[in-house]
Chain A
Amino acid sequence: MQKTIAGTTVEVNEEGYLTDMSQWTTAIADAIAAEESVGPLTESHHKVLNYLRDLQKQSATITIRGVGKSGVVTTKELYDLFPGGPLKKASKIAGIPKPVGCI
């Protein structure tokens, strides 16, 4: 389905996750973040978003343990930056699919 976010029409799934990560822009990130009560987005948020987008490009599995050990952000910081479901929210804001793992 289509949705207009920050003035741009993008493809999203039923839960509002972008289905084509190439349609993502930082303006879209800001808009989704506001919807999810995250932010305003700072440089620290963007570091995480860029890291997640890189992982997704490599089709790597995204886990909370992996992100916490990446050196990009600690587990504590991740929970502080994206309160209320860090990996789900960060992925949504980063324009990548919802993580499917349990870890």
Chain B
Amino acid sequence: MSDTQPVKKVCIIVSKGSLDGVYPALIMANGARMEGIEASLFFTFFGLNALNKTTLDHLKVATVGNPALNMAMPMLGMPMTMPFPTWMGALPGVSAFATSLMNKEMEKLDIPPVQEFLELISDSGGKIYACKLAMDMFKLKKEDLWDRVDDVLTVGQFYEDAAGAGTHIIFT
């Protein structure tokens, strides 16, 4: 007999602020709500880039230090095995170009832009939190953030929110 405990709640910590760093967390949180699983997102460090009003819809794909960019080659009609030299990622415009390519592909799959995605998660009952310490570090105030952020939490409050059997904490 398998003894399976259902996942009741996911608390996802988002510490990266690139497009490819933020989207997996948004998708996992929304997917959890669609399955009837409670979800909260805790944005910390560079993850706050995805909550800052002025930057949230301008996230970029990391083209420097990303040795897996060859995966985007099929979007240009080239084979995935074609290498993407890492120095090319540093050329002006390359990150913007890769970002627009990715955004286009995501739109085709009905994956919304960041702000709309946050709205979708919030409308579904998911919670959106910002990390207090990271806010202080980056000199951000609550009014700098997207209007519907539920709260600014300390680490202790984050763990309080995560309490309960069946909660899973995921760090991204």
Residues of chain A touching chain B, judged by Cβ–Cβ distance below 8 Å, are 61, 63-66, 68, 74-76, 79, 83-88, 101-103
Do A103 and B123 have beta carbons less than 8 Å apart? no
Do A103 and B35 have beta carbons less than 8 Å apart? no
Pick from B57-65, B76-84, B108-116, B140-148 the stretch touching chain A. Answer: B108-116
A89 to B, closest residue via Cβ: B36
Q: A87 contacts which of B34, B109, B110, B116 (Cβ < 8 Å)?
A: B34
CB distance from A100 to the nearest CB of B (A): 12
Inter-chain contacts of B30 with A (CB < 8 A): 64, 103
Fill in one digit per residue for B119-130: 1 if any A CB lies within 8 Å of its CB, else 0. Answer: 110011100000
> Could you count the A-B residue pairs with CB atoms below 8 Å apart for me: how many are there?
44
Lowest 4 CB-CB distances: which A-B pairs, in order?
A84-B36, A75-B123, A85-B36, A63-B110
Given A75-B123, A86-B34, list of 13 further CB < 8 A pairs? A63-B110, A64-B30, A65-B110, A65-B112, A68-B120, A75-B120, A79-B33, A79-B124, A85-B34, A86-B124, A87-B34, A88-B34, A88-B35
Inter-chain contacts of A101 with B (CB < 8 A): 110
Inter-chain contacts of A88 with B (CB < 8 A): 34-35
Q: List, sorted by A's number, 19 A–B pairs whose CB atoms are closer than 8 Å.
A: A64-B30, A64-B34, A64-B120, A64-B124, A65-B111, A66-B110, A68-B120, A68-B123, A74-B123, A75-B120, A75-B123, A84-B36, A85-B34, A85-B35, A85-B36, A86-B124, A87-B34, A88-B34, A103-B109
A83 to B, closest residue via Cβ: B36
Residues of chain B touching chain A, judged by Cβ–Cβ distance below 8 Å, are 27, 30-31, 33-36, 109-112, 116, 119-120, 123-125
Q: B31 contacts which of A84, A86, A102 (Cβ < 8 Å)?
A: A102
CB distance from A94 to the nearest CB of B (A): 16
Within the assembled complex, what's the spacing in Å between the Cα atoms of A66 and B36? Answer: 18
Within the assembled complex, what's the spacing in Å between the Cα atoms of A37 and B109? Answer: 31
Do A103 and B27 have beta carbons less than 8 Å apart? yes
Inter-chain contacts of A87 with B (CB < 8 A): 34
Within the assembled complex, what's the spacing in Å between the Cα atoms of A101 and B30? Answer: 12
Inter-chain contacts of A76 with B (CB < 8 A): 123-124
Do A103 and B110 have beta carbons less than 8 Å apart? yes
Do B120 and A65 have beta carbons less than 8 Å apart? yes
CB distance from B46 to the nearest CB of A (A): 25
